[in-house]
Amino acid sequence: MPTAAPSDTRLRLLEAAAAEVAAAPGEDVSMRAVCQKVGVTMPTLYHFFGSKQGLLDAVVAYGFDLYMDRKRAQESSGDPIQDLRDGWDAHVAFGLENPGLYSLMYGKVQPGHSPAPQSGPSRALRSLTEEAFAQGRLVVSAEQAAAHVLVTNIGVTLRQIVLGQEDRALSVAVREGALAAITGTASGSATRRGPRGEIRNTLEYAAQHPEVLGVDETRLLTSWLRTLAGTDALDD
Protein backbone atom coordinates (compact mmCIF):
# COMPACT_ATOMS: atom_id res chain seq x y z
CA MET A 1 0.00 0.00 0.00
CA PRO A 2 1.56 3.35 -1.03
CA THR A 3 2.41 5.86 1.68
CA ALA A 4 0.60 9.21 1.52
CA ALA A 5 2.74 12.17 0.55
CA PRO A 6 3.49 14.59 3.40
CA SER A 7 1.50 17.35 1.70
CA ASP A 8 -1.51 15.02 1.37
CA THR A 9 -1.33 14.05 5.03
CA ARG A 10 -1.13 17.68 6.11
CA LEU A 11 -4.13 18.60 3.96
CA ARG A 12 -6.16 15.69 5.29
CA LEU A 13 -5.37 16.73 8.86
CA LEU A 14 -6.34 20.30 8.06
CA GLU A 15 -9.61 19.26 6.43
CA ALA A 16 -10.39 16.94 9.34
CA ALA A 17 -9.79 19.77 11.82
CA ALA A 18 -11.97 22.10 9.76
CA ALA A 19 -14.70 19.46 9.78
CA GLU A 20 -14.43 19.18 13.58
CA VAL A 21 -14.80 22.97 13.86
CA ALA A 22 -17.81 22.91 11.52
CA ALA A 23 -19.47 20.05 13.41
CA ALA A 24 -19.29 21.79 16.78
CA PRO A 25 -18.97 25.60 16.38
CA GLY A 26 -17.49 27.22 19.43
CA GLU A 27 -16.44 23.91 20.99
CA ASP A 28 -12.91 22.77 21.74
CA VAL A 29 -11.26 20.87 18.90
CA SER A 30 -10.08 17.40 19.84
CA MET A 31 -6.66 16.76 18.35
CA ARG A 32 -7.07 13.06 19.08
CA ALA A 33 -10.32 12.99 17.09
CA VAL A 34 -8.60 14.75 14.19
CA CYS A 35 -5.82 12.16 14.19
CA GLN A 36 -8.29 9.29 14.34
CA LYS A 37 -10.17 10.63 11.33
CA VAL A 38 -7.01 10.73 9.28
CA GLY A 39 -5.54 7.52 10.70
CA VAL A 40 -2.30 9.02 12.03
CA THR A 41 -0.70 9.39 15.45
CA MET A 42 -0.40 12.55 17.53
CA PRO A 43 3.33 12.96 16.77
CA THR A 44 2.42 13.21 13.08
CA LEU A 45 0.02 16.08 13.79
CA TYR A 46 2.66 17.84 15.91
CA HIS A 47 5.17 17.32 13.11
CA PHE A 48 3.03 19.34 10.70
CA PHE A 49 1.53 21.97 13.00
CA GLY A 50 3.76 22.14 16.06
CA SER A 51 0.94 22.60 18.56
CA LYS A 52 -2.81 22.78 18.91
CA GLN A 53 -2.66 26.53 18.35
CA GLY A 54 -0.60 25.93 15.23
CA LEU A 55 -3.34 23.64 13.96
CA LEU A 56 -6.05 26.21 14.72
CA ASP A 57 -4.02 28.94 13.01
CA ALA A 58 -3.78 26.72 9.94
CA VAL A 59 -7.56 26.17 10.05
CA VAL A 60 -8.08 29.95 10.15
CA ALA A 61 -5.83 30.34 7.09
CA TYR A 62 -7.76 27.52 5.41
CA GLY A 63 -11.01 29.37 6.11
CA PHE A 64 -9.70 32.58 4.58
CA ASP A 65 -8.52 30.65 1.52
CA LEU A 66 -12.07 29.33 1.05
CA TYR A 67 -13.47 32.82 1.55
CA MET A 68 -11.09 34.43 -0.93
CA ASP A 69 -11.84 31.72 -3.52
CA ARG A 70 -15.48 32.76 -3.27
CA LYS A 71 -14.66 36.46 -3.56
CA ARG A 72 -12.48 35.90 -6.61
CA ALA A 73 -15.31 34.00 -8.27
CA GLN A 74 -17.72 36.88 -7.68
CA GLU A 75 -18.22 38.97 -10.79
CA SER A 76 -17.83 42.73 -10.46
CA SER A 77 -20.84 44.90 -11.24
CA GLY A 78 -18.53 47.64 -12.54
CA ASP A 79 -19.61 49.95 -9.71
CA PRO A 80 -17.54 49.97 -6.48
CA ILE A 81 -20.47 50.87 -4.21
CA GLN A 82 -22.60 48.07 -5.61
CA ASP A 83 -19.61 45.75 -5.30
CA LEU A 84 -19.37 46.71 -1.62
CA ARG A 85 -23.04 45.84 -1.28
CA ASP A 86 -22.58 42.49 -3.03
CA GLY A 87 -19.43 41.78 -1.04
CA TRP A 88 -21.30 42.45 2.20
CA ASP A 89 -23.97 39.90 1.31
CA ALA A 90 -21.35 37.34 0.28
CA HIS A 91 -19.50 37.89 3.58
CA VAL A 92 -22.65 37.29 5.61
CA ALA A 93 -23.56 34.24 3.54
CA PHE A 94 -20.11 32.71 4.10
CA GLY A 95 -20.41 33.24 7.84
CA LEU A 96 -23.85 31.67 8.05
CA GLU A 97 -22.76 28.70 5.94
CA ASN A 98 -19.55 28.22 7.95
CA PRO A 99 -20.28 29.43 11.51
CA GLY A 100 -17.50 27.44 13.12
CA LEU A 101 -14.83 28.57 10.68
CA TYR A 102 -16.10 32.15 10.70
CA SER A 103 -16.02 32.29 14.50
CA LEU A 104 -12.37 31.29 14.42
CA MET A 105 -11.62 33.74 11.60
CA TYR A 106 -13.26 36.81 13.08
CA GLY A 107 -14.59 35.96 16.53
CA LYS A 108 -11.36 35.07 18.32
CA VAL A 109 -9.84 38.42 19.25
CA GLN A 110 -6.32 38.91 20.53
CA PRO A 111 -5.58 42.53 21.51
CA GLY A 112 -3.01 44.15 19.24
CA HIS A 113 -2.93 41.23 16.84
CA SER A 114 -4.55 40.82 13.43
CA PRO A 115 -4.13 37.35 11.85
CA ALA A 116 -2.09 37.55 8.65
CA PRO A 117 -4.74 35.73 6.58
CA GLN A 118 -7.16 38.61 7.24
CA SER A 119 -5.03 40.83 5.03
CA GLY A 120 -6.38 39.30 1.79
CA PRO A 121 -10.04 40.24 2.36
CA SER A 122 -8.97 43.59 3.80
CA ARG A 123 -6.99 44.43 0.64
CA ALA A 124 -9.94 43.46 -1.55
CA LEU A 125 -12.24 45.70 0.46
CA ARG A 126 -9.74 48.55 0.46
CA SER A 127 -9.38 48.38 -3.33
CA LEU A 128 -13.13 49.00 -3.68
CA THR A 129 -13.16 51.95 -1.28
CA GLU A 130 -10.11 53.43 -3.02
CA GLU A 131 -11.93 53.16 -6.35
CA ALA A 132 -15.03 54.79 -4.86
CA PHE A 133 -12.90 57.55 -3.33
CA ALA A 134 -11.18 58.22 -6.66
CA GLN A 135 -14.63 58.64 -8.23
CA GLY A 136 -15.61 61.20 -5.60
CA ARG A 137 -18.20 58.87 -4.11
CA LEU A 138 -17.02 58.99 -0.47
CA VAL A 139 -17.15 61.65 2.22
CA VAL A 140 -14.46 59.90 4.30
CA SER A 141 -11.05 58.48 3.42
CA ALA A 142 -10.81 55.12 1.67
CA GLU A 143 -9.17 53.67 4.77
CA GLN A 144 -11.93 54.86 7.09
CA ALA A 145 -14.62 53.68 4.68
CA ALA A 146 -13.08 50.19 4.53
CA ALA A 147 -12.85 50.01 8.33
CA HIS A 148 -16.45 51.17 8.72
CA VAL A 149 -17.77 48.55 6.30
CA LEU A 150 -15.62 45.74 7.72
CA VAL A 151 -16.47 46.19 11.40
CA THR A 152 -20.20 46.50 10.77
CA ASN A 153 -20.15 43.54 8.37
CA ILE A 154 -18.40 41.37 10.96
CA GLY A 155 -20.70 42.53 13.72
CA VAL A 156 -23.93 41.77 11.90
CA THR A 157 -22.59 38.37 10.78
CA LEU A 158 -21.50 37.34 14.28
CA ARG A 159 -24.87 38.41 15.69
CA GLN A 160 -26.71 36.14 13.26
CA ILE A 161 -24.33 33.29 14.13
CA VAL A 162 -25.00 33.85 17.84
CA LEU A 163 -28.76 33.86 17.22
CA GLY A 164 -28.41 30.74 15.10
CA GLN A 165 -30.55 32.08 12.28
CA GLU A 166 -30.45 34.51 9.39
CA ASP A 167 -31.84 38.01 9.90
CA ARG A 168 -31.90 39.39 6.38
CA ALA A 169 -33.77 42.56 7.35
CA LEU A 170 -31.13 43.44 9.97
CA SER A 171 -28.27 42.74 7.57
CA VAL A 172 -29.75 44.92 4.82
CA ALA A 173 -30.53 47.75 7.25
CA VAL A 174 -27.01 47.76 8.72
CA ARG A 175 -25.46 47.42 5.26
CA GLU A 176 -27.35 50.37 3.85
CA GLY A 177 -26.61 52.40 6.97
CA ALA A 178 -22.88 51.74 6.60
CA LEU A 179 -22.91 52.65 2.91
CA ALA A 180 -24.96 55.77 3.59
CA ALA A 181 -22.46 56.85 6.24
CA ILE A 182 -19.41 56.56 3.98
CA THR A 183 -21.12 58.11 0.95
CA GLY A 184 -22.65 61.02 2.89
CA THR A 185 -26.28 60.05 2.46
CA ALA A 186 -26.95 59.07 6.06
CA SER A 187 -29.85 61.52 6.34
CA GLY A 188 -31.13 61.01 2.81
CA SER A 189 -30.31 62.72 -0.45
CA ALA A 190 -30.94 66.17 1.04
CA THR A 191 -27.60 65.80 2.82
CA ARG A 192 -25.84 66.58 -0.46
CA ARG A 193 -26.75 70.06 -1.65
CA GLY A 194 -25.71 72.07 -4.66
CA PRO A 195 -25.24 70.89 -8.26
CA ARG A 196 -22.41 68.48 -7.46
CA GLY A 197 -24.35 66.99 -4.57
CA GLU A 198 -27.44 66.47 -6.70
CA ILE A 199 -25.36 64.77 -9.38
CA ARG A 200 -23.86 62.42 -6.81
CA ASN A 201 -27.31 61.65 -5.42
CA THR A 202 -28.45 60.73 -8.92
CA LEU A 203 -25.32 58.66 -9.45
CA GLU A 204 -25.90 56.69 -6.26
CA TYR A 205 -29.55 56.10 -7.11
CA ALA A 206 -28.71 54.89 -10.60
CA ALA A 207 -26.01 52.58 -9.24
CA GLN A 208 -28.43 51.08 -6.71
CA HIS A 209 -31.17 50.54 -9.29
CA PRO A 210 -29.54 49.37 -12.55
CA GLU A 211 -32.74 47.58 -13.51
CA VAL A 212 -34.45 50.92 -14.23
CA LEU A 213 -32.29 51.83 -17.22
CA GLY A 214 -30.51 48.58 -17.83
CA VAL A 215 -26.95 47.60 -16.85
CA ASP A 216 -25.16 49.01 -19.93
CA GLU A 217 -27.19 52.23 -19.92
CA THR A 218 -26.58 52.70 -16.19
CA ARG A 219 -22.82 52.33 -16.65
CA LEU A 220 -22.89 54.92 -19.42
CA LEU A 221 -24.97 57.31 -17.31
CA THR A 222 -22.71 56.95 -14.27
CA SER A 223 -19.67 57.60 -16.46
CA TRP A 224 -21.23 60.84 -17.71
CA LEU A 225 -22.28 61.86 -14.19
CA ARG A 226 -18.78 61.26 -12.77
CA THR A 227 -17.31 63.42 -15.52
CA LEU A 228 -19.88 66.14 -14.88
CA ALA A 229 -19.37 66.00 -11.11
CA GLY A 230 -15.65 66.65 -11.62
CA THR A 231 -16.01 69.71 -13.81
CA ASP A 232 -15.03 73.15 -12.48
CA ALA A 233 -18.19 74.68 -13.98
CA LEU A 234 -20.19 73.40 -10.98
CA ASP A 235 -18.17 75.68 -8.67
CA ASP A 236 -19.49 78.81 -10.39
pLDDT digits (tens, 9 = 90+) for 54-67: 998 899 999 999 99
**C-alpha distances in Å from residue 177, one per residue of 52, 68, 173, 181:** 40, 25, 6, 6
CA distance 195 to 180: 19
Per-residue pLDDT at 193: 55
pLDDT tens, N- to C-terminus, the chain (236 residues): 344 556 789 999 999 999 888 887 777 888 999 999 999 999 999 999 999 889 988 999 999 999 999 888 888 888 899 999 999 999 999 999 999 899 988 887 667 667 777 888 999 999 999 999 988 888 899 999 999 999 999 999 999 999 999 999 999 999 999 999 998 876 444 445 566 667 777 777 777 677 777 877 877 887 777 777 665 545 54
Beta-carbon contacts of 211 under 8 Å, excluding residues fewer than 6 positions away, are none
Cα of first residue to Cα of last residue in the chain, in angstroms, is 82
* Percentage of the chain modeled with pLDDT above 70: 85
Q: Global pTM?
A: 0.75
Question: Please, what sign has the CA dihedral across residues 52, 57, 62, 64?
Answer: positive
CA distance 57 to 185: 40
Give the amino acid at 76.
Answer: S
CA distance 168 to 62: 27
**C-alpha distances in Å from residue 108, one per residue of 18, 74, 94, 227:** 16, 27, 17, 45
Give the amino acid at 113.
Answer: H
